[in-house]
Structure 1
Amino acid sequence: MRAVVFHQHGAPEEVLETVSEVPAPLPGPGQVRVRLHARPVNPSDLLYVEGRYGRRAGQFPAAAGFEASGTVDSVGDGLSVATGTKVAVAVDGTWREYVLAGPEDLMRVPDHLPHTVACQATVNPATALLLTDMLALGPGKWLVHTAAASAVGRMVLSLAGRSGIRCVCVVRGGEHVDELLRLGADAVVDSSEEHIEEAVREHTGGGADAALDAVGGDVGTEVLKSLRGGGVFVSYGLLSGRPLRVEPSSLVFDDVRLTGFWLPLRLSGLAESERQRLNERAVELLCDPRCRPDVAERFDLAEVDRAVDRAGWGQPGGKIVLTG
């Protein structure tokens, strides 16, 4: 089978390669083998290859990718999963043609969802759901979130709207302003044209109650300053590659609380029943036309260098997907 691997951490466009002579794995008891058809290129995938993720590769060569979709093609002893079942998979090393997975790693997805969409079922929907659950904001409260035109950003906007939460969406560039307003944003701030702290305070009448930040750097710092007293700031990404600058006075005198979110850590704390319910909610979210993620471009596994180069430009127009 083919697989995308790397022999050391580094820039993805330099260290990733597609190899074709890798033996396809055979499922053992309690495992299924899944023939994969599509895999998204997520920021976390690139951070992992670079060695800047929450964990590093345990051994080399290592395979890239954390989620994908495909069909079950072989079943080990002790399982009743039918071959041909369409699933999303959350395991390490999904940038290859076959993976082994346990039942806890599988999410049944509707047949009508194309693989290019189904492959995005396990990371972004769960992130959006757990982030909004974590904040537990009530109706009328103000939420400001960055990277608002991303898949997670749009899902957060939809979930917030269902709960009566008011949203200020922060984006870079004006091309998504009208779209986000149509999707229900109460206000959209273009960080390339506006001062974020001033704009958020003006729109909210004094500051937001909570913030979700995937960017860090200057954008995240300004969003942190835009919170009212007692506000909560959640950092869940580092798209800018730059650190937050935190003023101790905000924490001490304004009682602003700063915390982080890493999906694998959150998932590890869920009971089996909670994980199952999360999967059900994730599929429901993915099937919502307002939340259905766009696909910008598709590349074959053999074109991984082009795929990661394109993903490195940023993905406001949709996800880059590896097929084959």
Structure 2
Amino acid sequence: MKRLLARLVASNLNAARTYSSRANRKLAIAEFGDPKAVLKLQNGSVGSPKEDEILIQMLIASINPADINTVQGTYPIKPTLPGVPGHEGVGEVLEVGPNASGVKPGDLVIPNIENFGSWEQFKLVKSEAVTKVPPNVPLVEVCGISSNTSTAYRMLRDFASLAPGDAVIQNGANSAAGQNVIQLCKAWNLKSINIVRNRPDIDRLKEHLTSLGSDVVLTEEELRATKMFKNGEMVAPKLALNCVGGKNAMEVLRHLAPKGVMVTYGGMSREPVMIPTSLLIFKDVAIRGFWMTRWTRENRDSESRKSMLNELFNLMIDGKLKAPAHRLIPLDSFTEAIDSMTNVKGFAGVKFLIDFRL
């Protein structure tokens, strides 16, 4: 009788553990609007996978500007409501359905679709909705690989024919994408000229970007005054990357080499990109735009995307591609990230990541 009772107690404990491990927490929205008003922390539960589904435990999820825009309803790709925001993250496969393919329990995976809903502790998704990643890849680094890291990679690869020793100039250089650009330039033996807004801790920021591999870091004011291109201290850049717009973008464009290319992938100043006619005529510069989501949609299962991800995985594993300055926060501290990212004064300084292990 004692043995039977012990087995029953153990069985009940195991059942309780299984049940509690499937208790689920998530950030959800029922309508688009001010993130501070519409984002709600919710509790629930999740079952086991069926058919081609897999059960994932999210480990880390990014909070990107695109996520904020999605919650606001201004991003071009919108989730079905009610829904869970979050485009990026990394998770561990816990269970697989009988018809699931490509992954097994214990594998690390990242989203392979938009509007993945990564701000959720446990997720039931189809196996085709994820991409398997190497088991030894750093979690914080791989968490942002699909947006900022891939954006930096594609802009450097797809718009200008760059060889070792060539130069790239960018504004918003302390952004997550900008820090990836610096490190990829370093890895590929390209020179990078990096423009940032002036701020009280500018020396510390310059030191940080230099430690990542930047060749030159200038404030916007210093860029307007510099003579390093005219006197030959730095080769004129063949490629300019713009995420700011306005006068800053025009100043960056002014320093491009003849037949150079400027790629715009953001507009943080909310001011239009102005292009002097003289640069179009006498320098024959080209103006392009880039949206990583569109590229991924057109190349989701292509060899070029697989090759890109594998190269980035290896750079991360080798320590040559590090995550931008960041803070790991528990899910229930999400308001801290929202407050910082929606601060009109800017200078957030760090990227916020939800760490479901906290």
Say whether residues 1:63 and 2:84 are aligned partners. Answer: yes
> What's 1:181 paired with?
210
Letter in 1 for 2:147: V
Say whether residues 1:95 and 2:119 are aligned partners. Answer: yes
Letter in 1 for 2:169: V
- Deviation, structure 1 residue 108: 1.3
Scaled by the length of structure 1, the TM-score of the pair is 0.86
Find the residue that maps to 1:154 and give its secondary structure: helix
Find the residue that maps to 1:177 and give its secondary structure: helix
Find the residue that maps to 1:278 and give its secondary structure: helix
- In 2: Cα distance, 1:78 partner to 1:96 partner: 21
> What's 1:15 paired with?
38
Say whether residues 1:318 and 2:350 are aligned partners. Answer: yes
1:296 to 326, 334, 338: 326
Listed one character per residue, the Cα deviations across residues 277-301 of structure 1 (whole Å, up to 9, x for unaligned) are 2221121232343421145322222
- In 2: Cα distance, 1:27 partner to 1:167 partner: 47
Scaled by the length of structure 2, the TM-score of the pair is 0.79
Find the residue that maps to 2:59 and give its secondary structure: strand
Letter in 2 for 1:208: P
Identity percentage of aligned residues: 25
- Deviation, structure 1 residue 147: 2.1
2:242–2:264 contact (8 Å) kept in structure 1: yes
Find the residue that maps to 1:36 and give its secondary structure: strand
1:34 to 40, 43, 56: 56
> What's 1:121 paired with?
145
Listed one character per residue, the Cα deviations across residues 213-251 of structure 1 (whole Å, up to 9, x for unaligned) are 122233223212322321100011223333322334433
- Deviation, structure 1 residue 64: 1.0
> What's 2:66 paired with?
44
> What's 2:222 paired with?
194
Structure with higher Rg: it is 2
Structure 1 or 2: larger helix share?
Answer: 2
Greater CA drift, 61-70 or 197-206: 197-206
- Deviation, structure 1 residue 315: 6.7
- Deviation, structure 1 residue 116: 3.6
Find the residue that maps to 1:245 and give its secondary structure: coil
- In 2: Cα distance, 1:217 partner to 1:64 partner: 30
* Cα 1:196–1:26 shift into 2, 3 Å: farther
Say whether residues 1:158 and 2:183 are aligned partners. Answer: yes
- Deviation, structure 1 residue 125: 2.2
* Cα 1:206–1:83 shift into 2, 3 Å: closer
- In 2: Cα distance, 1:197 partner to 1:231 partner: 21
Say whether residues 1:237 and 2:266 are aligned partners. Answer: yes
Letter in 2 for 1:247: P
2:167–2:235 contact (8 Å) kept in structure 1: no
- Deviation, structure 1 residue 165: 2.2
Within-5 A mapping of 1:240-255: 240-255=269-284
- In 1: Cα distance, 2:347 partner to 2:89 partner: 18
> What's 1:147 paired with?
172
Find the residue that maps to 1:37 and give its secondary structure: strand
Q: Over the residues paired in the alignment, what is the CA RMSD in angstroms?
A: 2.7
Structure 2: gaps (5+ residues): 1-23
Say whether residues 1:82 and 2:110 are aligned partners. Answer: no
2:109–2:130 contact (8 Å) kept in structure 1: no
- In 2: Cα distance, 1:288 partner to 1:151 partner: 19
- In 2: Cα distance, 1:118 partner to 1:209 partner: 29
Listed one character per residue, the Cα deviations across residues 101-142 of structure 1 (whole Å, up to 9, x for unaligned) are 4346223133462x4444223322222221111133123322
Say whether residues 1:218 and 2:250 are aligned partners. Answer: no
1:279 to 292, 309, 313: 309
Say whether residues 1:262 and 2:291 are aligned partners. Answer: yes
Letter in 2 for 1:296: H
Find the residue that maps to 1:45 and give its secondary structure: helix
* Cα 1:18–1:64 shift into 2, 3 Å: same
* Cα 1:209–1:25 shift into 2, 3 Å: farther
* Cα 1:28–1:246 shift into 2, 3 Å: farther
